[in-house]
Structure 1
Amino acid sequence: MTRDRRSANPTRARRWLRTMRARDPREAHRAATPLELLFDLCFVVAVAQAAAQLHHHVTEAHLGVGLLGYAMVFFTIWWAWMNFTWFASAYDTDDVAYRLLTLLQMAGALVLAAGVPAAATSYDLTVITIGYVVMRVALVAQWLRVARQDATGRPAGIRYAVGIMVVQAGWLVRLALPHPWDYTGLAVLVIAELLVPMWAEFRGTATSWHPGHISERYGLFTIIVLGEVIFASLTSIQSALSEHGVSGQMLLIAAGGLILVFTMWWIYFMGPDAALSTPRIALLWGYAHYLLFAAVAALGAGLQVAVDVAVHRAHVAATTATFAVAVPLAGFLLVMCWLRRLTHTGLAHPSLMVTGAVIVLVLALATPVLGVGGVILSIGIAAAATLTAALVATHRDGVPHPPPEAR
């Protein structure tokens, strides 16, 4: 009886479980889906947790512990997000099975976020590993669907499924390793994670990700992380104002922070979309965003440290607070310079970004003279001046365009 109903209405069955087929990489008007945006929101919770822990450690003068924990935690967040994003760009069937497996990955992301404080403070990766494995098992199920249903993508699907499962087994084994072998295991597993896409994509037919869709997804996640910076900074400023009232230093930090967020947004979206013309360029471009996303979130933590120093509730020197803003900004500018050169888009004189990075680092040294607020505002003005110079130079010399085959 049930079999007869399904055969009588095949279109209804297809809505519940569609055949996993690669989407056309030349598909017009390809945009991020509401499900992808909801997925991003789960990850920004984890990003916020990582930035909060970095803020706490820097404020308490535990810089080494904080940076190592932040880099370690942020990798797991970024890598899980990146793997889903590229898979969805190639194989978004949007059927019930796809949505439920995505929901499972979102649940894993929230478990991962819950484990961030323990990982960032004591390097206890137990909860993070559980959340991470949940996410990766769901992705393995997606790749196995590809291997079964898409003849063209079968080789890559099998390689991805096998590679991910082997590495995830390694993450579970790492939990049992004694110290310091657990650190060695972590380094080995990070390298192994990065190698899986290289092995899967370059040993046969590459997956048919959509260049425009990938560029949009990364841009949207950049905006979300910038939004987290605004929210974290606003929360910190509100807390300081409720305890100490309005001060000149606080106003300068708020103004400088706003200029920084707006300038970073403009620099990222200046010029045409990235020309991801080859799998090699796309892989390098995608990997480099780990540094870019981490720098943006770390700048938010730095602004919070600056607020704490301004109201005398931090245990670090004022210069440390300004460097906590200047270093992430300099890193952002340098990564953006490299990304634009890699994809040949949107920047006439990359040296301007390098010069801007040097200037903001030098300005941090002026903290004893200008104070924390004065330096933060000066760094914001320097970043805006860097953007202005880049816009003028690009307009004067013409924006470099990608080759025809890349568009």
Structure 2
Amino acid sequence: MSDDDTAAAAPRRTNEENRHASWLELFFDLVAVAGVAQIAHLLHGVPDVSDLGLYALLFLAFWTAWVCFTLYANVAYENTHLRTVLAAMFGMAVMAAAVPGVHEGDDHHARVFALAYILIRALATRAWQHRRQILVDWPAAQMSLGVIPWIVSLWAHDPTRPWLWALGIALDLYVTFAVSARDIVERQEARERLGNRPARRDSGRGTSLARSQTEHLSERLGLFVIIVLGEGVAQLVQATSAAEWDRKLYTLAVAAFFLLATLWALSFRHGYAGVPHLAAGVLPARAALPLHCFVSGCLAALAAALGAAAEHLETLPDATRWLLCSALAGYFLLSGLAWLGRAARERRWLLSVALPCCVLPLLLAAFGAHVRTVVMVWLLVLITAWPILYERRSTKPSKPAVNSGTGTSTA
């Protein structure tokens, strides 16, 4: 990030700094519940490579739509426009409802999904233009470059359409990491001067830079991860309710619950904003937000795999086993990336914890074809618990030596 991007908006009021998610924001997050559930269902059964690709693409699109308005409400605070947020909620609900049809290759559902996404992004752009602010943390939230391929996709068909969507997401990521917010402001002001558009008299200022409110944003990001973990519980409940209840199912249900609970502990008790091993203020929002997106995507994929595991109590199908183990390996890979921002003296954790936690699930996926499902899940629980045990052992205070002659400590 350039030095220009370090400029911030005017100081915020104390009550704004200490605020929590509003009722409107919580209502907005309920749409995320429906969206994550619909997208996770793409991985039911025996998913193939095309299913995984479509899952990743739709999840990225849904998360992008969600984060655009999460950041808008974060910055606007009491000036958030209710009708704008409600319209975005409706658009996201339409996107969620269209997911099954997109998976089945229905052109109509795919166009509706793309159109809803385009309108949501247009709403976000309009909201930021009204505020006359450029968001430093995520400039793509108010730029339309990544939306252009989505517009073109309205006249495209499979297999071209998904590639256009992927191009749009890639352009958004490019804008986020390669474009300076100060450059955006200068270009916008230049266009206004060329168009002889006077500055708004009611605001008394031109376009300015804005930053997200950190603690409130971390709460919203954490709520999204909680939603994804809750989807894992829902998948497990749905699968077990339709199965025959026996000892194998009981043992698997306990193991799966321990796995989800351990992931919750890693993401929140040993992490920040739902990202494991991330500390507050270590990474800029431009880096932390993509980490949050990919962590959430891995957890949602793992949740779908756990639901499928309850339907295969003997051994897991190859595709399900690879999905379950790869999702956990990806989760720990991102955990290692989050840890890279810490002090160099702590980076030995990467070799003793992050590397084994990434490699061992992949080894189980490659050589665990004959491992019973319950044993497989319990092994993943042990792998997931290792970072917590390691951290507790590393932070445990050593006992001072005691002088036997005097009974006093020699520390």
Shorter-chain TM band: 0.7 to 0.9
Deviates more, 1:100-109 or 1:187-196: 187-196
Shift of 1:380: 1.4
Q: How does 1:206-285 map to 2 (within 5 A)?
A: 206-240=209-243, 245-271=244-270, 273=272, 274=278, 277=281, 281-285=284-288
**Aligned: 1:24 with 2:25:** no
On the 8 A contact 1:299/1:329 being kept in 2, the answer is yes
Shift of 1:161: 8.0
Identical aligned pairs, as a percentage?
24
In the alignment, the residues of structure 1 paired with residue 122 and residue 250 of structure 2 have an alpha-carbon distance, to the nearest angstrom, of: 48
Counterpart residue type for residue 102 of structure 1 = V
1:176 to 135, 139, 155: 155
Q: How big is each residue's C-alpha offset from its partner over 1:59-85, in whole Å with a ceiling of 9 and x where there is no partner?
A: 2x4411210110111011111111112
In the alignment, the residues of structure 1 paired with residue 136 and residue 254 of structure 2 have an alpha-carbon distance, to the nearest angstrom, of: 49
Which residue in 2 is equivalent to 1:332? 331
Which residue in 2 is equivalent to 1:6? none
Distance 1:22 1:116, change over 3 A: farther
In the alignment, the residues of structure 1 paired with residue 258 and residue 127 of structure 2 have an alpha-carbon distance, to the nearest angstrom, of: 42
Which residue in 1 is equivalent to 2:41? 52
Shift of 1:178: 5.0
On the 8 A contact 2:302/2:324 being kept in 1, the answer is yes
On the 8 A contact 1:326/1:361 being kept in 2, the answer is yes
SS at the partner of 2:77?
A: coil
Distance 1:167 1:138, change over 3 A: same
Deviates more, 1:252-261 or 1:204-213: 204-213
Shift of 1:285: 1.1
In the alignment, the residues of structure 1 paired with residue 289 and residue 263 of structure 2 have an alpha-carbon distance, to the nearest angstrom, of: 18
**Aligned: 1:115 with 2:98:** yes
Shift of 1:90: 1.6
Q: How many residues align?
A: 355
Which residue in 1 is equivalent to 2:129? 144
On the 8 A contact 1:366/1:375 being kept in 2, the answer is no
Distance 1:191 1:272, change over 3 A: closer
Shift of 1:250: 1.6
On the 8 A contact 1:42/1:106 being kept in 2, the answer is yes
Shift of 1:295: 0.4
On the 8 A contact 2:94/2:116 being kept in 1, the answer is yes
Distance 1:221 1:161, change over 3 A: closer
**Aligned: 1:292 with 2:295:** yes
Unaligned runs of 5+ in 2: 1-8, 186-207, 273-277, 399-411
On the 8 A contact 1:302/1:321 being kept in 2, the answer is yes
Shift of 1:134: 2.8
Which residue in 1 is equivalent to 2:23? 34
2:86 to 87, 103, 127: 103
TM-score by length of 1: 0.77
Shift of 1:183: 4.2
In the alignment, the residues of structure 1 paired with residue 174 and residue 226 of structure 2 have an alpha-carbon distance, to the nearest angstrom, of: 28
In the alignment, the residues of structure 2 paired with residue 82 and residue 155 of structure 1 have an alpha-carbon distance, to the nearest angstrom, of: 12
Distance 1:161 1:394, change over 3 A: closer
On the 8 A contact 1:73/1:120 being kept in 2, the answer is no
Deviates more, 1:101-110 or 1:300-309: 300-309
Counterpart residue type for residue 325 of structure 2 = A
SS at the partner of 1:100?
A: helix
1:201 to 177, 181, 186: 181
**Aligned: 1:384 with 2:363:** no
Q: How does 1:122-161 map to 2 (within 5 A)?
A: 122=105, 124=107, 125-147=110-132, 153=133
Distance 1:228 1:344, change over 3 A: farther
On the 8 A contact 2:57/2:166 being kept in 1, the answer is no
Distance 1:177 1:364, change over 3 A: closer
Which residue in 1 is equivalent to 2:405? none
Distance 1:80 1:322, change over 3 A: same
Distance 1:77 1:395, change over 3 A: farther
In the alignment, the residues of structure 1 paired with residue 11 and residue 73 of structure 2 have an alpha-carbon distance, to the nearest angstrom, of: 9
On the 8 A contact 1:104/1:134 being kept in 2, the answer is no
Cα RMSD (Å) of the superposition? 3.1
On the 8 A contact 2:135/2:210 being kept in 1, the answer is no
Instruction: Give the structure with the larger helix fraction.
Output: 1
